[in-house]
Structures are given as C-alpha cells and as structure tokens.
C-alpha cells in the first residue's frame, strides 16, 4: 500500500520568506503527483500537477519538483504572503487510487 508523508506537519514563517514543503511516497510507480491547498472549512484547490515523466512544474511563485526514484516531491513557495496561509496537501495517483498525505499547515506572519 502506498504511504504518503508530509514534513513538517506545521510551519510558521515571516512574510517574504521563501519556503519548501516536502512530500515523500513509498511506491515510485506513480502516474502523477498533485499539490493542493486547503483553506479552513473549504475544499481543495489544485495548485500543480506533475506527470510521472516530468521533473518539475511552475505556476507563478510556486514550483513543484518530482524525483520518482527517491520517492520525493517538494513544493517551493517564493516570497511568501499572508494569503498563502493554508494547509498544503500532496497526492499521488497509483493505478486507480489516489493517496493523500496529511498535509503541512502553513502560517505566514505579516
């Protein structure tokens, strides 16, 4: 069974800092990996989707990388803003199943 781990569980940074969130998975035979953000009481918003054949994807201040062989992905957020405060989840697709991590709760302090 696929295990997805996210470290750290919580992170607090001052506004303007660059930061990295980590996601690791045990089975490297994934189809893709997706990063989401979840705001309190709301559903998930897709941020970036990386196919298994890709190494990274970028959108604005966000950059996600994927290293399938080592079972790792990182989400890099540049110049963090208070509006980035949310829980960030990664999910991997393996066969017909999707496996989510438990998330990293990010707080950006003004």
Partner 1 sequence: EAGVAQSPRYKIIEKRQSVAFWCNPISGHATLYWYQQILGQGPKLLIQFQNNGVVDDSQLPKDRFSAERLKGVDSTLKIQPAKLEDSAVYLCASSLDRGRWREQYFGPGTRLTVT
Residue 96 in contact with partner 1, rule: CB under 8 A: yes
From candidates 21, 73, 103, 108, binder to partner 1 by CB under 8 A: 103
Contacting residue, 14, 43, 83, 110, with partner 1 by CB under 8 A: 43
> Exposed, middle or buried, 12 (CB in 10 Å: 0-12/13-18/19+)?
exposed
Residues binding partner 1 (CB under 8 A)? 4, 31-32, 34, 36, 41-46, 49, 51-52, 89, 91, 93, 96-103
């Amino acid at each position: 069974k696929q295990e997805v781990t996210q470290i750290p569980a919580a992170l607090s940074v001052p506004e303007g800092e660059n930061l990295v969130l980590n996601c690791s998975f045990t089975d490297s035979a994934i189809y893709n990996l997706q990063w989401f953000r979840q705001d309190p009481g709301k559903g998930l918003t897709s941020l970036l989707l990386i196919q298994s054949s890709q190494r990274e994807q970028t959108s604005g201040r966000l950059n996600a990388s994927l290293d399938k062989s080592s079972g790792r992905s990182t989400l890099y957020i540049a110049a963090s803003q208070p509006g980035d405060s949310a829980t960030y989840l990664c999910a991997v697709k393996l066969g017909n199943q999707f496996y989510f991590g438990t998330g990293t709760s990010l707080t950006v302090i003004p």
